[in-house]
Amino acid sequence: MNHILHVVGARPNFVKAAPVLRVIRERGIRQTLVHTGQHYDRNMSDVFFTQLEIPEPDVNLEVGSGSHALQTAEIMRRFEAVILERKPDLVLVYGDVNSTVAAALVCSKLLIRVGHVEAGLRSFDRTMPEEINRIVTDQLSDILFTPSQDGDANLLREGMPREQIHFVGNVMIDSLIRLLPVAKSCARNGLPERFALVTLHRPSNVDDAERLREILECLTNVSEKLNIIFPVHPRTRQRIVEFGMNTDRLLLFDPMPYIEFLSLQSCAAVVITDSGGIQEETTYLGVPCLTMRTNTERPITVTAGTNILIGDDRKRLIAEVRNILDGNAKKGVTPPLWDGHTGERIADILQQM
């Protein structure tokens, strides 16, 4: 394996790619980093590169936002020229964003091998665009790196060869473990001592006015007992303004860099979210997590971790917050191989090829 090309495009990709990039660099293997530009504002992109010590991308496709079809097509169009010029032995893609599936499609047609980091995760909900991206990427990939053993089971059930599947653990936790000491030293000037941390961005929660209003009213109710810190995703902020929502009782912030957000996660009384990655991070941190979804592609965070699926049940959200404040939070354990060495295991497998 002489030349590995990495594709990243959105904030979760950066957290997953950083440990792999670092280990492969230390082992002297040539690598190229391609940033599709799927996320392009500073808090959602550039500052993550700095904090995670990711090198400056060799190529930035500067795709920007757009519908799923337009964004995926534009990434494919621009990425094909990069592959033809660079001629890597293997392309590593991360997670489940449009950049991931677009790169996998291009490589499969050009007969370039693909490795998928975070393979095998399934929500079994095809109304989620990410679920389609996960399924297609896995089917096109030659090497499948799974974060948990349910991923292996999903891939085997879908007919993927056993020899292509490698249970390596959760590479996001590599970044968390490495930067947690720095995060814990962050000053929290002016922020409340005890608080709930909230993130919301999924279309099913924020694009429907009635659903978003119900969630915000529920958070306002929770704020009577616990301060709410809410870093607001650009999509969510746009909907709050568009729908004329009342957020007076909530502490709204712009999206936060990785270390600052990790600092808040690590000391939150509870995290309320619809993010997949945050379900994993809170499980490792032992912080209670209430997920505003009816399903999750990371079921190990529910069966072994601190995560509870709330769905659309606002009464249950309030009840679970009350349980947490009363000292009855759900306890969890750290899943197997979430130990900070996943990047090394991935590099070991690549070197053996």
Catalytic residue positions, numbered: 201
Beta-strand ranges (E) seen in the chain are 3-8, 30-35, 59-60, 90-94, 113-117, 143-146, 165-167, 195-198, 227-231, 251-253, 270-273, 289-291, 307-309
DSSP conformation letters of 148-209: SHHHHHHHHHTT--GGGEEE---HHHHHHHHHHHHHHT---TT--SSEEEE----HHHHTSH
Residue found by looking up tokens 């053996």 in the block: 352
Q: Token pair for residue 19?
A: 């440990």
Is residue 341 a contact partner of residue 172, using CB atoms and an 8 Å limit?
no
How long is the chain?
353
CA distance 283 to 286: 5
Contacts of 315 (CB under 8 A, 6+ apart): none
- Work out whether the CA dihedral 252, 255, 259, 261 comes out positive or negative: positive
Is residue 110 a contact partner of residue 121, using CB atoms and an 8 Å limit?
no
